[in-house]
Every structure is written in C-alpha cells, then in structure tokens.
C-alpha cells in the first residue's frame, strides 16, 4: 500500500549556515512586511556581492501615480528578471513564489515585530516626505494611510501563513533565514563584513 506523502516543510537555517549560503548565492530573494528593512538589507547585499538589485515595488508592481500594473504583465516582468544569473529581489508577493523561489539560492525572511515595521514606515515617510524613495517607481510619492498601517498590523496573522505555505510548496530545499530583530540583522551584516 502506498504511503501518504509527507507535507513539504520550510528549510529554515541558522545565521551561521546562512552566511555561507549568502556568500555563494547568485540569486537571493528577500521577503517580509513593509517597514522591516527588506530594501535596505537588499541594497547592501547587492552592492557587496555585485548582484543586480530588483525591487518588486519599483520594477514590477507600480506605475507612476500609484497605478498597479496588471497581473499578467507583473508575472511576465518577474519571469524576465528571474531568468538573470545574478540578482537580489526585494518583495514578498506569495502569489509569484512559484516563479521566484525555485530560482533562489536562499530566501531571507525579514520577520520583524509589527511595531518595528510601523515605526519603519513612519520614519521612511518622514524621511522621504513629498518625494519618491529610490526603491519605489517614479511618480509614487511616499505616502502612509490607515489601510497601509492596517496591512502592516495584520501582516503576521494574514500573510505569514501564505509565505510559509509558498516556501514549503515551491522551495522545500531552498534555505530560508528568518531575521526577527534589528540585532539579528546587524549581526548578519557584521558577519558579512557590511556596515549595519
């Protein structure tokens, strides 16, 4: 009699194992809630390891004036970019994990506490008030509203289960490092000889 297959699980790794994976990686996927530090971390790693930095917000999702591209166009743009040999992609979107996770050498899940994420988006908004931040599409002036804050506040409850399921389904062998504090992120950057 055939045994039922074991459900796929996420291949979580610790900081030490992740360091080796990151140093050898040609393609890195960085996911997590807005305000957690995904973009800052991604840009530092891109510069250190000469990887092309791809921002889902800037390069895939948004057109000027906060207009979203259609789903088919978004998928096509992702397909084109993940075909590259050396990149780091910053953006969550579990609906495209089927394209992105299998091409990734490692996934870094920036999984900060929600208050820290709220603080991150508020300080980002103040820093870029009236302007477009570099990792956002042109013409998307930095903004913050109740809907966005609610998205952040409920992210762990609503989106983390989708992230776990997507990682398990589309990359059960892809190493996943979770960064759950600023201290852990700083330690990672220290071990990689990067400024925090």
Exposed/middle/buried for residue 129 (C-beta within 10 Å: 0-12, 13-18, 19+)? exposed
Q: What is the pLDDT of residue 18?
A: 95
* 193's tokens: 């000889």
Q: What is the pLDDT of residue 169?
A: 97
Q: What is the pLDDT of residue 113?
A: 97
Please provide the average confidence, as pLDDT, over all residues in the chain: 94
Q: What is this structure's pTM? A: 0.93
Cα dist from 105 to 27, 86, 137, 177, 192, whole Å:
5, 10, 26, 11, 17
Q: Which domains does the chain have, with CATH numbers?
A: 11-191 (3.40.50.300)
Per residue in 131-145, pLDDT (tens digit) is 999 889 999 999 999
State CA 55 to chain mean position distance. Answer: 9
Positive or negative, the CA dihedral 146, 162, 186, 37 is: negative
User: Over the chain (196 residues), what is each successive 10-residue block's mean pLDDT?
Assistant: 65 94 97 96 95 96 95 96 97 95 98 97 94 91 95 96 97 97 94 78
């Amino acid at each position: 009699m055939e045994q039922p297959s074991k459900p796929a699980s996420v291949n979580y790794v610790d900081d030490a194992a992740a360091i080796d994976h990151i140093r050898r990686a040609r393609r890195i996927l960085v996911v997590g809630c807005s305000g957690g530090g995904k973009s800052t971390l991604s840009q530092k790693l891109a510069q250190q390891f000469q990887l092309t930095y791809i921002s889902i917000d800037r390069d895939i999702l948004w057109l000027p004036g906060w207009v979203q591209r259609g789903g088919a166009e978004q998928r096509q743009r992702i397909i084109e970019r993940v075909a590259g040999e050396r990149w780091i992609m910053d953006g969550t979107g579990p609906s495209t994990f089927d394209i992105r996770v299998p091409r990734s050498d490692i996934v870094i899940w920036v999984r900060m506490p929600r208050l820290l994420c709220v603080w991150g988006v508020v300080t980002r908004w103040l820093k870029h008030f009236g302007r477009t931040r570099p990792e956002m599409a042109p013409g998307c002036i930095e903004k913050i509203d109740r809907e966005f804050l609610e998205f952040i506040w409920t992210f762990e409850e609503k989106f983390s289960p989708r992230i776990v399921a997507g990682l398990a389904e589309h990359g059960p062998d892809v190493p996943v490092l979770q960064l759950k504090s600023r201290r852990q992120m700083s330690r990672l950057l220290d071990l990689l000889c990067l400024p925090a």
